[in-house]
Structure 1
Amino acid sequence: MIMRVLRRIFAGLILAAIVVGTVVLLKSGHYDVLQTNGVVAERQRQLLIFTLLLSAVVVGPVFFMLGLFAWKYRASRKPSKKARYTPEWASNRTLETIWWGIPIAIISVLAVVTWVTSHELDPYKAIASSREPLEVQVVALEWKWLFIYPDLGIATLNQLPVEVNRPILFSLTADAPMSAFWIPTLGSQIYTMNGMSSQLNLMATNTGDFMGYTTNINGRGYADMKFVTHSMTKEAFAAWVKQAKNTDAIMDEAAYLKLTTPTTNDGEKVYRLTDSNLYNTAVMKYMKATEQKPQDDHTKTDVDHTMNTMEGM
């Protein structure tokens, strides 16, 4: 009797500790995916919550029945004369309909939602707005982020100043091992690869500083490959642009080549852009290598054939 009471007390303490720990964690933590500051991220948050609630329709009853059956059919329970004895029982159409019908219905709903949201949240899809998008070219380096504003004649390192409530059109590539560009509070993650230019459309709905990351492990500096998105008002952004255009640091081919050296913790920097073709150069750098490879292989084959012919002579 005493042991049974102690078990119940111990189980209650464990449950209380889990509940208190969860509450403290949720209260003290900052979860960018749930605390959104962009139109795309907000739509993704709604989709996440909807999916979790829909999944709970299946998971919830399963855990409830697990506890119910464990209690009802416990070994210490005394046999009841009221219990039904059906040794010939084989099936139950009602139960079969429930445990097949509900999952099928949920999967069907998820299929429709997946189809709709896959097109709605397409990273290449422009965000509806009366304002012209801010064009930003992104180059993932080792282990830093270079942002180029071709229309403004500005480049930045590890910082992304943007204007609130204005769409942003990102063009993304990599001049380093494959990375993944992600600003959790603004929305979608997208990969950056050598010789490939991807697109992403986002828009900040609040001002503030939001962290950005690479979510793809790309070497020893992976954990330090971060940047800060500075979302500003229209007036503050215009003032920043004016100040950035007067900076002494210049971003040209020579400065870019220095940035391609693998380094970490480079800090935030601002440059005047003097070479507007840097992004295309970074993309075509690997495209040219790909185009030349078959020719190099062909040349190697010709040399090998010539050597074999000479040996045969």
Structure 2
Amino acid sequence: MISNAPPGRVRCATVSAATLGLGGCVPGILTPAGPVAAGERLILFDSLAIMLAIIIPVICLTIAFAWWFRAGNDKAKRLPDFAYSGRLELLVWSIPALVVMFLGGVAWVGSHELDPPKPLRSMNRAIDVDVVALDWKWLFIYPDLGIASVNRLVIPAGTPVSFRITSATVMNSFLVPQLGSQIYAMSGMTTRLNLMADHPGRYLGRSVHYSGKGFPDMRFVVHSVTPTQFGAWVAGTRTAGPVLDEPGFVALDRDSVDVKPYTYRSVAPKLFEAVVRNSGTLSTKTAVDGRLQ
């Protein structure tokens, strides 16, 4: 029988069935676009294989025991007075111990290799991006380039990105599933994260920690572009858009929902440090009286 469904839908349905709905048709950790997400997927698959090595035999043995020791099988030996077997004790304890050791080893190695602050290996020099979580939007500052964007992150493909992340409001959580590593954005604190996109593409990012009424719309888009396209975007951004100075940040800090992406052609120096240092004050919707300098 030949299906009339479009090929894309058939492939999507096949992937969904193969992953038991873990990934489905929504791009995520099972479709990595960078080394960190690829490493996390490897940990997931390794852990799954280790656990299936126990679960599958246990399921098979449970069925086999139930069938062999059924009431109608006269060949089955029953030992009602059985009390202890050293071999069984060794088997019962050694296999779970090995599973714990293997899973612990995978987690140990993975946590060191994919430690969020650890710089990624690359022939290209990393670019710095400062991230500020607001109600309910994301601000991305390029401190070395003197520009910023809201709800849109543009990065060059094949180049590591070194993030400093904070929040000017309540706690949020920064995540780009196809690039990897969820990490929290906390008021008055700085967390660090290193990610990289292997190739050009468009990836969805969002907050995955509930932060109020605008939380469902607190999304952003990561545009991974070629170095040439990135240079053109930077040049174009510097020629248009508002300035993110003291009044501009106060206006941006107001509650807003479903904010369309836009850019700032210039950013006040040390803005990120001021947000971290004065987060308790800057989170209010009042003037900051020169504290951004």
Corresponding position: 1:93 with 2:64: no
1:22 aligns with 17
Q: Which has the higher helix share?
A: 1
- 1:35 maps to which of 31, 34, 58: 31
- Residue 56 (structure 1) aligned with residue 52 (structure 2): yes
Given candidates 201, 218, 223, the residue that maps to 1:225 is 218
| Aligned match for 1:65, one of 61, 64, 73 | 61
Aligned residue type for 2:64: L
In structure 1, the partner of 2:40 is 44
Point out where structure 2 has 5 or more consecutive residues left out of the alignment: 1-13, 283-293
Partner of 2:251: 258
**Deviation string, structure 1 residues 247-301 (Cα, Å, up to 9, x no partner):** 1322112111111111110111111123122111111113789xxxxxxxxxxxx
1:45-97 deviation line (CA, Å, top 9, x unaligned): 111100110011122122222333344445xx5241x2223232112333322
Shift of 1:20: 11
Q: Quick one: which amino acid aligns to residue 72 of structure 2?
A: K
Give me the whole-angstrom Cα distance separating, in 2, the residues matched to 1:96 and 1:179: 48
User: Which of 139, 143, 153 is equivalent to 2:136?
Assistant: 143
Match of 1:114 in 2: 107
Residue identity over aligned pairs, in percent, reads: 37
What are the equivalent positions in structure 2 for 1:160-309 lying under 5 Å apart? 160-286=153-279
Q: Return the alpha-carbon distance in structure 2 between the equivalents of residues 20 and 247 of structure 1.
A: 43
TM-score by length of 2: 0.85
Q: Aligned-pair distance for 1:25?
A: 5.4
Distance 1:236 1:113 in 2: 38
Tell me the C-alpha RMSD between the 2 structures: 2.2
Q: Could you tell me which amino acid in structure 2 is paired with residue 22 of structure 1? A: A
Give the SS at the match of 1:241: helix
Larger Rg: 1
**Equivalent pairs, count:** 268
Higher mean C-alpha displacement, 268-277 vs 144-153: 268-277
User: What is the CA–CA distance in structure 2 between the aligned matches of 1:223 and 1:288, rounded to whole Å?
Assistant: 26
**AA of the residue aligned to 2:96:** P
Distance in 2 of aligned mates of 1:168 and 1:129: 11
Describe the SS at the equivalent of 2:43. Answer: helix
